[in-house]
Structure 1
Amino acid sequence: MRRRCRRGHRRGLPHHRGISTPRTAPSPLAGAGHRRGHPPAPAGQRPPGAEEGRNGFGTDGYRGPCPPRGDRPHRYLLTVYATDRRPPVSAGASLDTLRRALSGHTLATATLTGRYGH
C-alpha cells in the first residue's frame, strides 16, 4: 500500500509518502510521519515493514498542512494505492518514478479530500 497527501492548489506536492505499509497493519497512518521541526518517527513507531519516502519539500517523512495566514482554505488530498507488489523504488524516488513503478500493479485506489486553513 502507498499513500500520498498533497495540496490541491499545487498539484503533485506530496506532504507525505508512505511506502509498503503492510496490509496487516491496524492503520496505515498509525505512527506515521512527524510534525515540522521534529524528527521522523523511528521505525519502531511505524507499522512493521512500513517506510517513509521523500516529500515535496525535499525531506523524508510527513509535513502537514500549513497554508499561509490570511490565505483561503487549501484542499488536501490523501490517496491510498493497493498494489500487487512493493514498488521497486528507493525512499528518495521522485513522484513520477513511483507512479511509473506502480503502473500495471495498482489494484485499487481511494482518495479523501480535506480542507484546512485560516
Structure 2
Amino acid sequence: MLRKEIADTIRDFNRFVNHNMTIEVNGKTLNFGTDICEKLILCPISNTAVEIFFDVYFSEKLKKDPRVKLEWPVMKFFENKLFLPNNFYGVTLDSENANIERIEMIHLIYHVAGYEESR
C-alpha cells in the first residue's frame, strides 16, 4: 500500500466518493458529498489522516520538517495529532527506527447518520 500509484488511486477514489458519487434515495438522485456527507460534520473530514499521511510519506520536504513526525500510532502534523489506527491496518514497523515499513489495508471511512429531505 505504500507505493505512490496505490496512494494516488486511493486518493482518486476518495475524491470520487466525495464529489462525484451519486445514489438513489426514494426515487431521487443525490450527490453523496453535497447532499448526504455535508450534513454530518465528521463525514467530510473522516479521511483527512489518510490524505495527510500520504502527503508526508511521499514528501521529503515534509519528512524533514521538525514539526512533522511520521510515527505509529499517532502522527504529529504541525500542531495536530492524527490517530492512524482508525484508517491503517496490518502496519509493520522496521526494527531499527520504528518507521512504518508496510501497511496491509487502508480503510476509508464515511460517517453517515442518515438522509432526510428538508421540507
Higher strand share: 1
Fold shared, TM-score > 0.5 on shorter chain: no
Q: Which of the pair has more CA radius of gyration?
A: 2
TM-score w.r.t. the length of structure 2 is 0.23
Structure ranking higher on relative contact order (CA contacts 8 Å, 6+ apart): 1
Higher helix share: 2
